[in-house]
Amino acid sequence: MYEFLQETVASNMTRSVRSVAPEMTVGDLYRLFADDDYDAYPVLRDDVVVGFVTKLDALKVFACPTDHMLPRYDDRMGTTVDEIMSSDVISVEPDTNLQRVLQLMIAHRLKSLPVIDRYRHLVGIIAREDVMRALARCTKRQAPSLVPCETARCLRLV
């Protein structure tokens, strides 16, 4: 487990990341979600991270208060990403410890975080699966070997 505490984002992140533009429509975003099976995309303007958009954000355009009429599907599909994205982006840098990533994911209920450099340029993404793989890899190396079932039966107290 101590080895996990030394793990950083840089050695566990995904470097090739698909991003979206703020001007993209929800209709195009839906098609991307279907094609990629991702849960979220960083939003870039001039190579700088300006937001993060999730599947839930894309679904929110169809939610309406009970005192309103049902929104028109075609109108809502034309909504742009910059209207629905979160511009308060929680991100990490490549040298961030995975333990810190885990804390952020739990505290903010996030599935992934964009990895940015000091200029806010996107350099990768770190997802729950990346953290889980690192944790499994680190604990596997340190786990004691299991006692075979036959031996455990012999050790049972009578």
Please say whether the beta carbons of 3 and 142 come within 8 A: yes
With cut-offs at 50, 70 and 90, classify the pLDDT of residue 151.
Answer: low
Phi and psi based region of residue 109 (left: phi greater than 0; alpha: psi -120 to 50; beta: remaining) = left
Instruction: Check whether 35 has a pLDDT greater than 90.
Output: yes
Look at residue 94 and tell me if it is in a domain. Answer: yes
Look at residue 111 and tell me if it is in a domain. Answer: yes
Give the CATH number, domain containing residue 19.
Answer: 3.10.580.10
Instruction: Check whether 62 has a pLDDT greater than 80.
Output: no
Look at residue 144 and tell me if it is in a domain. Answer: no
Instruction: Check whether 103 has a pLDDT greater than 80.
Output: yes
Look at residue 121 and tell me if it is in a domain. Answer: yes
Look at residue 39 and tell me if it is in a domain. Answer: yes
How far, in Å, CA of 28 to CA of 80, rounded?
9
Look at residue 151 and tell me if it is in a domain. Answer: no
Closest C-alpha to 81, from 13, 19, 140 = 19
What secondary structure, in 3-state letters, does the chain show?
Answer: CHHHHHCECCCCCECCCCCECCCCEHHHHHHHHHHHCCCEEEEEECCEEEEEEEHHHHHHCCCCCCCCCCCCHHHHHCCEHHHHCECCCCCECCCCEHHHHHHHHHHHCCCEEEEECCCCEEEEEEEHHHHHHHHHHHHHHHCCCCCCHHHHHHHCCC
Residue 141, C-beta contacts closer than 8 angstroms, at least 6 positions apart: 3
Q: What is the pTM of this model?
A: 0.78
pLDDT of residue 76: 78
Look at residue 153 and tell me if it is in a domain. Answer: no
Domain carrying residue 50: 3-138
